[in-house]
Amino acid sequence: MNCRRLLSITLFFASTLGPSGFAADVGALKPWIEAQGELKSLTGTFTQERKLKVLRKTLVAPGRFWYRAPNQFRWDIGDPVRSVAIQSADKFTVIDLEKGKAEVKAGESETNRLTAYLQMSFPRDWEAFQREFRVLSVERSGNVLRVGLEPLDPGAARGVRAIRFEIDAKSYATQAFVLDLKDGSEMRTSFSGVERDAGVPRSVFDVSLEGLRVKDKGL
């Protein structure tokens, strides 16, 4: 997916590699990105687990997502759905169904960072990936490739200490991503039932805001 458009990050990647062995590990990520190829659409389900520093109990919520190239993305959380986030070329919409309200923002903003991170779980551009992240670690455990990253853009990194991805080392499918937050909390999103190029109609991203209290920003 188009990470360059989402985050617009500048990275002098070569200066972060260090020893040649580490550089080789970074190169091992190429197949993960190249495996996305000419991706047209993705759809699937996920489970989001949030471990907050102030709570003992892990908060768990199911969800579903849809992606349609080049820049449409929808993320539903809850069963039944309680919140919806939709990213399109020119606006970002967040709907809180429980509170009966919606917020629409022009372009991209910090509030849609989580959706951006979800899109980054399926990167398609190796050069853009290099510009956007500092690679902290690459480890293989059995059939799982674990990758630790740090976002370089100050806005995207605000509140985020590191991002971790878990990737199937054989198929290079993204299995999960984890946000390690600076306040000590953690958010893990695990994917399942992901279908590639199954066809996602445009109507999926057209959600009626009728009956909701709508707040427009920058439109």
- Closest to 198 measured CA to CA, from 63, 72, 66: 66
In a domain, 174, yes or no: yes
Count of structural domains, the chain: 1
Gyration radius of the chain over CA positions:
17
Q: What is the mean pLDDT of each run of 10 residues along the chain (219 residues)?
A: 31 26 62 77 92 86 90 90 87 92 75 54 73 86 90 71 88 87 88 90 91 81
In a domain, 65, yes or no: yes
First to last CA, the chain: 25
Give the phi and the psi of residue 121 in degrees, each rounded to 5.
-70, -15
In a domain, 200, yes or no: no
Q: Specify the pLDDT at position 217.
A: 67
In a domain, 16, yes or no: yes
Domain limits at 142? 3-192
- Closest to 40 measured CA to CA, from 2, 3, 65, 68: 68
Determine the Cα–Cα distance for residues 189 and 121; give it in Å rounded to an integer: 10
User: H/E/C letters for each residue in the chain?
Assistant: CCHHHHHCCCCCHHHHCCCHHHHHHHHCCHHHHHCCCCCCEEEEEEEEEEECCCCCCCEEEEEEEEEECCCEEEEEECCCCCEEEEECCCEEEEEECCCCEEEEEECCCHHHHHHHHHHHCCCCCHHHHHHHEEEEEEEEECCEEEEEEEECCHHHHCCEEEEEEEEECCCCCEEEEEEEECCCCEEEEEEEEEEECCCCCHHHHCCCCCCCEEEEECC
- Closest to 156 measured CA to CA, from 104, 109, 94: 109
In a domain, 201, yes or no: no
Q: Specify the pLDDT at position 66.
A: 93
CATH code, domain with 100: 2.50.20.10
In a domain, 218, yes or no: no
Contact 113, 156 (CB under 8 A): yes
In a domain, 79, yes or no: yes
What pTM did the predictor assign?
Answer: 0.75
The sign of the torsion formed by the CA atoms of 30, 31, 32, 38 equals positive
In a domain, 217, yes or no: no
Tokens standing for residue 69? 């190239």
Q: Specify the pLDDT at position 69.
A: 81
